[in-house]
Homo-oligomer: A and B are copies of this chain.
Amino acid sequence: MMVIIGEKINTSIKSTQSAVENEDRTFIEELAKNQVEAGAAYIDVNCGTFAGQEAKKMEWLIQVIQGKVDTPLCIDSPNAKAIEAGLKINRNVKPIINSITAEKERWNAILPLALEYNTSLIALCMDDDGIPDEPQKRLKIANRIAEEMVRKGIKLDDIFFDPMVKPISTDNQSAVLTLETMRLIKKEIPEAHIICGLSNVSFGLPVRRLLNTSFFVSAIFAGLDAAIMNPLDNKLMAIIYATEALSGKDEYCMEYISKYREGSLET
């Protein structure tokens, strides 16, 4: 079933930002607990808005969260120092680093941390030339990342590839290209996971929920098996259960029917 990474502990969300500023432990603890209860297998932790204090805030957040839940964390930053501070203090089981790319500088800064702290990784299909348009070229980056990681001893099961999606408002074909990339990666590297941001695709357009939902459904059929999302969004969770049943991953529709009995299938 879908690996859900709860996205709410991110300081780009105003209420989370205030809670971190005011060191409101209870708010963060509740946010962690509620996401876990709603089905999150990981808790994303992002405090990128605190330029200059990111590492300190990361430490504080992780201490608070792991005092409340033992769910593994998804340590989310482009900044190796903040990631390292998080990894050092983390006591919950195997975390994910969010994220690495094939860009030389980022690769060299992040990969040693993954090895030292034995983490999983979210790997974006981009390198120093950016995000290629062609699915085959994105696959090539994924293959290169997989090969080098496996050579270093990382298991494919610990890699979450993000095929990257641009807004369809700037490129009509962007969702189609991303879905094709997912299918290619799923076929060539079936042991690895596929993850994707759900909301970038609709940037610049109205009623984004419609576009995000539609993209999510088609992505699950294309091989998506992990998502950084809001597990407290009941409508989106219901769409996941329905799509997993439809895509043949939910034997006898048992999970779907049990969610219905719990009263959690909202339309």
List residues of A whose CB falls within 8 A of some B CB.
Answer: 168-169, 172-173, 175-176, 179, 201, 205-207, 209-211, 213-215, 217-218, 221, 238-239, 241-243, 245-248, 250-253, 256-257, 260, 265, 267
- State the oligomeric state as a number of copies: 2
- A207: which B residues are within 8 A, CB to CB? 238, 242, 260, 265, 267
Q: Which residue from B175, B210, B256 sits with its C-beta under 8 Å from A205?
A: B256
A209 engages B245 (CB within 8 Å): no
Expressed in whole angstroms, the Cα–Cα distance for A41 and B267 within the complex equals 28
B172 engages A248 (CB within 8 Å): yes
Q: Which residue from B175, B205, B210, B247 sits with its C-beta under 8 Å from A238?
A: B210
A176 engages B248 (CB within 8 Å): yes
A213 engages B242 (CB within 8 Å): yes
- A169: which B residues are within 8 A, CB to CB? 253
Closest chain-B Cβ to A228's Cβ sits at a distance in Å of: 19
Q: Which residue from B201, B210, B256 sits with its C-beta under 8 Å from A265?
A: B210
Smallest Cβ-Cβ distance to A261: which chain B residue: B206
Q: Apart from A175-B246, A211-B245, what 20 extra A-B contacts exist at CB < 8 Å? A: A168-B245, A169-B253, A172-B250, A172-B252, A173-B248, A175-B247, A176-B246, A176-B247, A176-B248, A179-B221, A205-B253, A207-B267, A210-B241, A210-B265, A213-B239, A214-B239, A214-B242, A215-B246, A218-B221, A218-B246
- A221: which B residues are within 8 A, CB to CB? 179, 218, 221
- Between A169, A205, A246, A260, the greatest number of chain B beta carbons within 10 A of the residue's beta carbon is seen for A246
Closest chain-B Cβ to A200's Cβ sits at a distance in Å of: 12
A172 engages B251 (CB within 8 Å): yes
Smallest Cβ-Cβ distance to A218: which chain B residue: B221
B206 engages A246 (CB within 8 Å): no
Q: Which residue from B214, B242, B257 sits with its C-beta under 8 Å from A243?
A: B214
7 tightest Cβ-Cβ pairs between the two chains A and B:
A210-B242, A217-B217, A207-B265, A206-B260, A175-B246, A214-B243, A214-B242
Expressed in whole angstroms, the Cα–Cα distance for A250 and B211 within the complex equals 13
B247 engages A206 (CB within 8 Å): no
Closest chain-B Cβ to A84's Cβ sits at a distance in Å of: 38
Smallest Cβ-Cβ distance to A209: which chain B residue: B267
B176 engages A211 (CB within 8 Å): no
- A214: which B residues are within 8 A, CB to CB? 217, 239, 242-243, 246
